[in-house]
Amino acid sequence: MRSESWSSRGPDYSDSYRQQAQQLARQFAIMEGVVGVLLSGGLTFGEADRYSDIDLTVYLRQQSLRTWYFGEAPLPEGKSRYRDLRLNVSYLDYELERDRKWTSAEIWRASRAAVLYDPEGLIGELLDSKRPDDAQLRDEARELANDVRFTLDHAVPAWLYRGEVLAAHAMLNQALSQLIQLIHLTNGSPAPEPGWDVVLLGSTGDLADDIVEQLQEALRTGDLTAADVSRRRYAVSTLLRETVALHSPESGSASQGEAESPLQGMLWYLLKHEPIEFDEFLARFDRRLLIQSPAFELVWVDRQPDETLIRFNHERLGHIVQHELGRFLDSQQRIIRELAAHAGDEIDS
């Protein structure tokens, strides 16, 4: 088997492949029922080598697509060879795609796609309708940040405690993949597909200068020892903290701008604004948060004859910090300590 050098980049075929893609789009354009053609994948970044596909998405009217399924399609769907080119073609029902909720990966691919054919402007409208707004990106980022924190605070220490070092390293790999997606989300972009999420980190703004060095430290596994787990965990934690601190709105928390979970956000609000009426609470928060730890022991419902109030138990917070902190999970201890640090001078955190 011939050996192959992986130390340098191969020839760039992007110009040639893009011309071929445009020729294919012109062929699709003259066919009945074709609404539009998109080019996605590496070619849209000016990247193409011997492993690259020409990724084309062809949107059709429903009736035309049905006839293509019965043998009228000009090219195979999926991956195939065509005149020494590697193709990856998708045929989609335009009406169905217009009404369907897209996955994050689909949204990202569409956000970077190049429109090769769109005579009625319908494909442009479709792509615009699928772009996530800032609120959606923040929600996804908050969920990912919480997932990474849970892995770092709970899953990794648990596997180390059980003596399963390899499992701890695997969990760190998972957390790192989620963190890379988080970096893109906090910079206002849908999370790219695996592979491209790393390649495109150079365009992530304020973090770009330091991110490669920090990722190398987080990825390096050494001898797969427990000490390496601790080192990698610290590297991932540092990168998470910097990512969220740079891009999250000010929340006044001791976590320097960390994205709050719904539970943490509710506790911070009550700490600063209690008591609040029950109706106001329901307008802002899910009532189930009241019975989740640590709110279960820090928040109480004050039922009075003429009104119901939600109160924060400052005295209970101080007692927990002084005497009972150890019986809470690591992630809950962090929330309690942050609350205590800002609850007042009377609480020693």
Please name which of 188, 319, 333, 154 lies closest in space to residue 255, comparing C-alpha atoms: 333
Strand partners, 114: 39
Q: Is residue 255 part of a domain?
A: no
Give pLDDT, residue 45: 78
Percentage of residues in the chain having pLDDT higher than 70: 88
Domain range for 117 is: 14-130
Does 191 lie in the same domain as 174?
yes
Q: Is 166 exposed, middle or buried (0-12, 13-18, 19+ CB in 10 A)?
A: exposed
Same domain, 23 and 118: yes
pLDDT at 2 over 50: no
Instruction: Please check whether residues 241 and 143 belong to one and the same domain.
Output: yes
| Band (347; pLDDT cuts 50, 70, 90) | very low
What's the one-letter identity of residue 64?
S
DSSP 131: S
Q: Give 205's pLDDT tier (boundaries 50, 70, 90).
A: low
| Residue 347 belongs to some domain of the structure | no
Same domain (yes/no): 95, 125: yes
Asked if the model's pLDDT at residue 256 lies above 70, the reply is no
Least confident window among 119-133, 158-172, 236-250, 271-285: 236-250
For residue 311, what pLDDT band results from cuts at 50, 70 and 90?
very high
CA terminus-to-terminus distance, the chain: 65
CATH number at 146 reads 1.20.120
**Choice between 50 and 286, residue whose per-residue pLDDT is larger:** 286
Cα–Cα nearest to 268, from 231, 226, 225, 298? 298
Given a cut of 80, whether residue 24 has pLDDT beyond it is yes
Residue 276 is inside which H or E element, if any? strand 276-277
Mean pLDDT score, 116-123:
95
Average pLDDT over residues 172-192: 86
Residue 348 lies in a domain: no
- For the cut 80, the answer to whether the pLDDT of residue 1 exceeds it is no
Q: Are residues 219 and 284 in the same domain?
A: no
Specify if 254 maps to a domain. no
Report yes or no on 8 lying in a domain.
Answer: no
pLDDT given for residue 346 in this prediction: 41
pTM of the model: 0.64
Q: Is the pLDDT of residue 277 over 90?
A: yes
Are 114 and 151 in a shared domain? no
Alpha-carbon torsion angle 60, 64, 70, 75, nearest 10: -40
Our count of domains for the chain comes to 3
Query: Same domain for 112 and 20?
Result: yes
Place of tokens 């609850």: 343
- Closest alpha carbon to 157 in 237, 240, 229, 258: 229
Of the three residues 247, 270, 288, the one that is the final residue of a domain is 247
Please give, one letter per residue, the 3-state secondary structure of 287-312: HHHHHCCCHHHHEEEEECCCCEEEEE
- 160 occurs within a structural domain: yes
Which range has the worst mean pLDDT, 120-134, 189-203, 281-295? 189-203
What percent of the chain has pLDDT above 90? 39
What's the confidence (pLDDT) of residue 237? 87
Are residues 38 and 117 both part of a single domain? yes
CATH code where residue 289 lies: 1.10.10
Whether residue 4 lies inside any domain: the answer is no
247, 270, 305: which is the final residue of a domain?
A: 247
50 and 125 part of one domain: yes
Are 115 and 151 part of one and the same domain?
no
Residue 284 has pLDDT above 80, yes or no: yes
Q: Which CATH number goes with the domain that contains 84?
A: 3.30.460.10
Q: Is residue 6 part of a domain?
A: no
* Residue 252 scores a pLDDT above 60: no
> Which of 75, 99, 130 is at the close of a domain?
130
Same domain, 288 and 199: no
183-195: b or e for each residue (b if 16 or more CB lie within 10 Å)?
bbbbbebbbbbee
Question: Strand ranges (DSSP E) for 30-121?
Answer: 34-40, 54-60, 78-82, 85-93, 114-117
101 and 146 fall within a common domain = no
Question: What is the rounded distance in angstroms from the CA atom of residue 146 to the CA atom of residue 72?
Answer: 49
pLDDT surpasses 90 at 103: no
**342 vs 283, higher pLDDT:** 283
pLDDT tier for residue 203 given thresholds of 50, 70 and 90:
low
Average pLDDT over residues 199-227: 74
